[in-house]
Structure 1
Amino acid sequence: MSLACCLPIIECVYCLACARWVWKRCIYAAGHESEDWGLATAEEFQPVSRLCRYILALYEDDLRNPVWAPPGGYRMDPDLVVLRKDYDDTGGRVTPYIVYLDHENADVVLVVRGLTMGRESDRAILFDNKLGRAPFDGGYVHNGLLKAAQWVFDEEHEVLRDLLEKNPTYTLTFAGHSLGAGVVSLLALVAVQNLDMLGNIERKRIRCYAMAPPRCMSLNLAVRYADVVNSVVLQDDFLPRTTADLDDVFKSLI
């Protein structure tokens, strides 16, 4: 049989294979990945709701009269906010963040806000990434998010060290949403790599809660730092699971 006669058959097989791939992608539910996982206890989940309230506080103009915190929810005590930095303070290197001294939960908390699509500086952070550009501790991380995380650490590690030295039993928690979740995930890695700059605190005192984070580190790093970084993903949220380049994803959406 000649090659010309085989081509229609090859094309049909190829089209069927593509159709099968598209069909499986359309019916795929990311929640299946976790269907065999155990349920979190109330104690394990408690920090999530508290830290989500703190993330919402970053969107408040007046922490003493919050719009986004319903009665009975966790609220930031404005008197315990150690510092608060907005876009003017960060120069667009990272989204706004707060350092908060949470006495009730014996916790020093650094919270980073999520992506604002209307801000070019936020998009620049997210799109600053190419495969293999940013090696880190034997793996690879998102280049723009690493630069943002490193900038925050360089700016605030002395503040964090002083707070931890004054409160030696407190934990150090990083929390963020969306773009901020990616920043704090890598900020936690940077902190673990530089414990001496935080007063040589123990690794087990550092925690990170990343709410809907973009994919920002290679699998080997995710496994190695699983005791520190907790990713919180709502059901089938596609962004934390997408394998596509984030630049392509957001340009397609826009």
Structure 2
Amino acid sequence: MSLACCLPVIECVYCLACARWAWKRLLHSAGHDSETWGLASAVEFEPVPRLCRFILAVYEDDLDDPQWAPPGGYGIDTRWVVLRKTYKDTHGRAPPYLIYLDHKNADIVLAIRGFNFAQEGDYAVLLDNRLGKGKFFGGFVHNGLLRAAEWVFDAECKVLKELLEKNPAYTLTFAGHSLGSGVAALLTMVAVHSLDKLGDVERKRIRCFAIAPARCVSLNLAVRYADVINSVVLQDDFLPRTATPLEDMFKSLFCLPCLLCLRCMGDTCIPEDDMLRDPRRLYAPGRLYHIVERKPFRCGRYPPVVRTAVPVDGRFEHVVLSCNATSDHAIIWIEREAQKALDLMLEKERLMEIPPKPRMEREKTIEKEHSEEHKAALRRAIIMAVPDAYSPSAYGTFDDHLTTSRAGAEEILPTSSGSNIRSRSSKWAEWIKKVFEKDDSGEMVLRGSVPTSG
């Protein structure tokens, strides 16, 4: 009898908890994720729509006779397509890609297509994702995407090296969408740590644009490589917000709504500090660009606004319950909205009538601002005790050799906030040497208090 009396109380508590969760989820919109970020400029955002078109070109069977070209075409001169690799060429180890020599923009582009539901190889890459399995220079990565990136790098490093040597003023850009975005991001990280195979090219000549990025790197790596990796997210896109292991998701397709519902409840109830301290939790990589075109509880689309930052916390942590969560993931929509946003930025600059010289100065200022923002993000990661986070070298913002040696050492040491403790210990030891010294009996005394002989 007493048990029967408790059932209504339990039911009421359960209903109240569900109502609270639903209320919090419905109030959360995509605009909240980036409301404190700064606005992106046309200079830094200009490559995004162009690279989206290059990625779309990978889907074509014949670039001379395109079937799904966007308005204005792909902007590709087929004479400068260096090579194309299909599923037959990659043997399912990586998605198809092309290498294009973009003389107009002084850029060497390696573009990778997104996930193909009809290809078993893409499933094999995606499902190879057991937590803690993939390690990369002091952090964790998606193991399947890392293996695909290493395969692409080994296959094309000689071609890329020759192109870089023949075009010393050109940049090297890796771009990808969805599954290809994860491969492109990890390919960039592999390239940064293998610069000798690319002819000792400078790190600043390498960059990546991950369109609709997959969560493929741990938080310390996501912040550490924000100087070379850029992620572009359209409004409510579900993939950069889906922290559920994709292996479990695709194995549970028959109950995907239930799985996403449980993940939403977990993201709502678990404190964000606990998420940040998990060294195996994966995030969208690098600097984030968020295209916002809709407002909560309003119909229709608004002129798109692009916000950018290198956040440590609040890094697309919560799934947005929206009917556009899947459509915002489509590369076609991202290309259209990115081009609209870029046109608005350029129109605003034309109205301001910025002369060429101040525009060049503005480019240098943006580069400096991004560098300072990156340093601030690294420092914040240390303050928040993100595992394996550390500050850049004092003798160079991004010293590759130092990064490699320290990261290699961190893989041997326990993964915790040990890098922070080690840095504090070394500073403390240096301070002690400056202030104290040993006397004849071997005891520590203040420096200068030991009497000198003679």
Query: Matches of residues 17-166 of structure 1 in structure 2 within 5 Å?
Result: 17=17, 19-70=19-70, 72-166=72-166
The equivalent of 1:232 in structure 2 is: 232
SS in 1 for 2:243: coil
SS in 2 for 1:173: strand
SS in 1 for 2:24: helix
CA distance in 1 between partners of 2:248 and 2:226 (Å): 28
For the aligned residue pairs, the C-alpha RMSD in angstroms reads: 2.2
Moved more, 154-163 or 19-28: 19-28
TM-score (norm 1): 0.91
Deviation at 1:119? 1.3
> Are the aligned partners of 1:69 and 1:75 in contact in 2 as well (CA < 8 Å)?
no
User: Which deviations, in whole Å up to 9, do the C-alpha atoms of 1:199-222 show, x marking residues without a partner?
Assistant: 111111001000001100011101
The equivalent of 1:177 in structure 2 is: 177
Deviation at 1:66? 2.2
The higher radius of gyration belongs to 2
CA distance in 2 between partners of 1:10 and 1:59 (Å): 54
2:220 is aligned with what amino acid?
Answer: N
1:175 is aligned with what amino acid?
Answer: A
> Are the aligned partners of 2:57 and 2:74 in contact in 1 as well (CA < 8 Å)?
no
1:250 is aligned with what amino acid?
Answer: F
CA distance in 1 between partners of 2:218 and 2:71 (Å): 41
SS in 1 for 2:79: helix
CA distance in 2 between partners of 1:42 and 1:68 (Å): 27
The equivalent of 2:342 in structure 1 is: none
> Are the aligned partners of 2:134 and 2:142 in contact in 1 as well (CA < 8 Å)?
yes
Report whether the alignment pairs 1:191 with 2:191.
yes
CA distance in 1 between partners of 2:43 and 2:67 (Å): 27
> Are the aligned partners of 2:93 and 2:148 in contact in 1 as well (CA < 8 Å)?
yes
Change (3 A) 1:154 1:128: same
Deviation at 1:103? 0.7
Report runs of 4+ in structure 1 exceeding 4 Å deviation: 4-15, 251-254
CA distance in 1 between partners of 2:206 and 2:70 (Å): 29
Report whether the alignment pairs 1:249 with 2:249.
yes
SS in 2 for 1:84: strand
> Are the aligned partners of 1:177 and 1:210 in contact in 2 as well (CA < 8 Å)?
yes
User: Which deviations, in whole Å up to 9, do the C-alpha atoms of 1:29-54 show, x marking residues without a partner?
Assistant: 23311112122112221100110110
CA distance in 1 between partners of 2:29 and 2:249 (Å): 19
TM-score (norm 2): 0.52
1:128 is aligned with what amino acid?
Answer: D
Deviation at 1:23? 3.6
Deviation at 1:235? 0.4
CA distance in 2 between partners of 1:226 and 1:196 (Å): 21
Deviation at 1:71? 5.2
Change (3 A) 1:31 1:117: farther
CA distance in 1 between partners of 2:10 and 2:72 (Å): 64
Aligned length: 253
